[in-house]
Amino acid sequence: MTSTRLVIGLVAAVLCSALIISSPNAVQAAPEGQPEMRAAMDHLREAQKNLESASHDKGGHRAKALQHVRQAMAEVQLGIQYDDRH
């Protein structure tokens, strides 16, 4: 149960970060390596790996958390691509 809460919290934080980065009012800066976004992606990959290797008897919550992690990974990637273009 604690792992699921941790993953959901991580997903929420990453999604908020992606929203802030893609905000039209965000300060425009020169393209950079985006270390925070790349670190977030690394953490999401680790969360995905942990969820995939966890036992499946979680009342559907493990599968839902895995779905949210994959969705967050897609959003982080879109945020990185957006920042690279703007």
Plot region of 32 (φ>0 → left; ψ -120 to 50 → alpha; else → beta): beta
Question: For the chain, what is the domain count?
Answer: 1
The residue-averaged pLDDT of 23-41 equals 73
pLDDT in tens, 45-73: 999 999 999 998 899 999 999 999 999 99
Residue of 12, 3, 6, 30 lying closest to 75 (CA atoms): 12
Residue linked to tokens 């979680």: 58
Q: Is residue 67 part of a domain?
A: yes
* Residue 37 in this model has a pLDDT that exceeds 60: yes
Q: Which domain holds residue 61?
A: 2-21+32-85
pLDDT for 22:
54
19 to 49, 50, 55: CA distances (angstroms): 25, 25, 32
- Residue 27 falls inside a structural domain: no
Give the number of other CB atoms < 10 A from CB of residue 21: 19
